[in-house]
Amino acid sequence: MTRGLVNSSRFSPGNLSGEVLEQLFVGRADLMKQLLKRIHLSATREEKHYLLLVGPRGMGKTHFVSLAYHKLKSDPAYAEARERLKIAYLKEEEWGVASFLDLLVRLLQALVAEYGNTKLATGIEQIYEDFKRSPATALHRAETLLIDYVGQDTLLLICENLEDLFEGLDDEGQKRWRAFIQEHPFWTILATTPALFAGIQLQSSPFYNFFTVKHLERIDFDTALELLHQKALLDGRKKLADFLLIPTGRARVRAIHHLAGGNHRVYVIMYDFLDAESLEGLVSPFMRMADDLIPYYQDRLRQLAPQQRKIVEFLCQEARPIAVKDIATRCLISPSVAAKQLSELSKIRFVVGNKVGRESHYELAEPLMRICVDIKDNRTEHLKVFVELLRHWYTRRKPRAKGAGARARHLYPSDPESALAEVEVLADTVGLGAALEALKRLLTNWSEQMDRDMLVDTLSRTLQLESQLRGAVAMARQVSKLRELLERHQQADLLPPVLTEALKAWLLGEELANAEWPLALPSLQQALGDQPGCHLPLILLSVAVRYKHTGDESILLELPLEQRTLLLEGMGASSEQGGEGADTE
């Protein structure tokens, strides 16, 4: 079977050459080694392994099995297995299998494509002839053909979308297949499926617990970075490859990471965006990607029972984990039915449960699905707001030049940087009120020449200093004056990044556990709640404060998954957090 040389086809890893597959394969070397070892054992010994890779669409399943195939065909480490394997690699979507006979014919055709055996090809034609007289005779011929062709070797069946295959086979076809495997133990199988399904999970199913299941987990930040780096090298984009290794580049990837949710394919799709001047343009490519994914999610929804679909659509709208009883109420079903349906949805990885005490709260397992549904329904605000937050979160602020602070002590500020330093010194020594006076002078004199990033950095630090030295309540009281001042000088759009920077700093320390913070929140809300771009940082701040004060994890569930992970990352609870100043643009 030959594969094309199309580089890095984002939807068809099956079209990539072995070398490209190898280069873009990241983070799963151990799993690959494990599975190939089992296939090797299956080829060289009597034992036989039946392997099933599970992962939602875009997790890299096709890439994985394509690479496994390539290694078995060419890697010297598997020469011994290669001698004894007959590989039948079924196409990614093997539509049209409606019986066990269909499966056998497609398998035989795959073997012909792989090995070019004309006798086998002739035998397949004879099956069609037999079928005209008797289906049972055709089935017997197909079975005999396969048994004779495999002989003393081991048949490796590689097939994707196993659930679809099982659906086509139905109960009778599955039983025939399983019995055939039991009676003719020359099979080893490497299959994939987006989610576990009844055909292999229920005790009443023929293939119950037949497969050794391996879940393809979402890739973490470092693996995603490695993937994109390798892709850049592969595409000959050395500048981009180098860019990805510096903090600014890493920051860009981090921003994508919060939306991609570890989905392999999303990173590859968003790869084109990495070149953009800044994070400004993140929304458009994301919306284009969503266009590609919408048909896939619609199809998945269609396969659900009506009550399940109702639940999933409700969770799409809610965007945060919801308790079972509330889901039941809003979906107009009884709690016991809701619990049962959620359990089923959990098994097929549509939803994921978060246990808080004795109660489970459910949310969509893939935030990407919710975002795609939002986009489809022209509800793009949530995405835009979150992207805006990511932009501020991961934008690196230029620090002031050294010594500017010292100069400011002795001179009336004669340059913007010194003026900024003056503001910060006053915030440190006197208070935010005095700092705002200096800021007024600064904006009056230097507003045109001011480096906005530096200004954001300074203002953020003044808020931090005020809350640290004089308390959160005092800081919150001054924020409305800050807003007035900035509005007067048409600089109110600085407030979102200022607040976000301050938020990041507050999250890292233990300051939010201070008793004043719950008292400060209403003032902050009053001062900034209606300022565009401040709403989401305020929500995150509120959740963080309440969480720090109560330790109640259910508070975190007020946030959708992508916001929750960002918050936890900010609090240093995620293993993917960078240090302060790292991974920002």
Partner 1 sequence: MRPLVANPGGRLNVEDIIGREQEIRRYWKVLERQGLVLGAERRLGKTHIVWKMHAVGRQGFTTFYQDLEQVHGLTELVRALYRAVDRQLSGLAKAKRRAIDAWTTLVPKKLGDLELPDASQNWKFLLSEAVKDVLGAVDPEDKVVLIWDELPLMLYNLQKHEGPESPIQLMDLLRSLRQQHGERLRFLFTGSIGLHLVLKSLRAAGNANDSVNDMQHETVPPMSELESMELALRLLSGLESPPADAEQLARHIFQALGGFPYYIHHMVDRLGELGRPPTPADVTRVADQLVTADDDPAHLAYYYERIATYYGKEEKDLALLVLDVIAAQEGAVPMDSLINQVRLKQGGLRDEQVRELCLLLRRDHYLTLEKRDGTSLHDFRWHVVKRWWRENRL
Residues contacting 53, CB < 8 A, separation 6+:
61, 64, 65, 190, 191, 192, 193, 214, 215, 216
Verify binding: residue 201, partner 1, rule CB under 8 A. yes
Q: Which of residues 345-374 bind partner 1 (CB under 8 A)?
A: 346-347, 349, 353, 360
CB of 569 to partner 1, least distance (A): 24
Closest Cα to residue 214, out of 409, 61, 92, 88? 61
Residue from 13, 35, 38, 555 touching partner 1 (CB under 8 A): that is 38
Verify binding: residue 180, partner 1, rule CB under 8 A. yes
Closest Cα to residue 499, out of 483, 515, 510? 483
Verify binding: residue 49, partner 1, rule CB under 8 A. yes
Verify binding: residue 30, partner 1, rule CB under 8 A. yes
Q: Which stretch binds partner 1 (CB under 8 A): 54-62, 196-204, 372-380, 490-498?
A: 196-204
Residue from 2, 118, 152, 204 touching partner 1 (CB under 8 A): that is 204
Closest Cα to residue 548, out of 485, 490, 503? 503
Closer of 64 and 211 to partner 1 (Cβ): 211
Q: Which stretch binds partner 1 (CB under 8 A): 3-11, 198-206, 457-465, 540-548?
A: 198-206
Closer of 176 and 231 to partner 1 (Cβ): 176
Burial of residue 287 (CB within 10 Å: 0-12, 13-18, 19+) is middle
What is the enclosing helix (H) or strand (E) of 285? Answer: helix 283-302
Q: Which stretch binds partner 1 (CB under 8 A): 11-19, 39-47, 81-89, 235-243?
A: 39-47
Q: Which of residues 214-233 bind partner 1 (CB under 8 A)?
A: 214
Looking at residue 541, its amino acid is L
Verify binding: residue 554, partner 1, rule CB under 8 A. no
Closer of 52 and 528 to partner 1 (Cβ): 52
Site string for partner 1, 303-322 (x = CB under 8 A): --------------------
Residues 324/355, Cβ–Cβ less than 8 Å: no
Residues contacting 555, CB < 8 A, separation 6+:
543, 546, 547
Q: Which segments within 260-396 are labelled E, that is strand?
A: 322-323, 351-356, 359-364
Closer of 36 and 435 to partner 1 (Cβ): 36
Verify binding: residue 48, partner 1, rule CB under 8 A. yes
Q: Where are the alpha helices (DSSP H) in 412-471?
A: 416-429, 432-446, 452-470
Residue from 7, 15, 208, 441 touching partner 1 (CB under 8 A): that is 208
Whole-angstrom Cα distance, residue 521 to residue 545?
9
Residues 68/35, Cβ–Cβ less than 8 Å: yes
CB of 206 to partner 1, least distance (A): 6
DSSP 553: G
3-class secondary-structure state, position 357: coil
Verify binding: residue 182, partner 1, rule CB under 8 A. yes
CB of 188 to partner 1, least distance (A): 8
Binding residues (CB under 8 A) for partner 1: these are 30, 34, 37-38, 41, 45-50, 133-134, 136-137, 140, 172, 175-176, 178-180, 182-183, 185, 196, 201-204, 206, 208-212, 214, 343, 346-347, 349, 353, 360
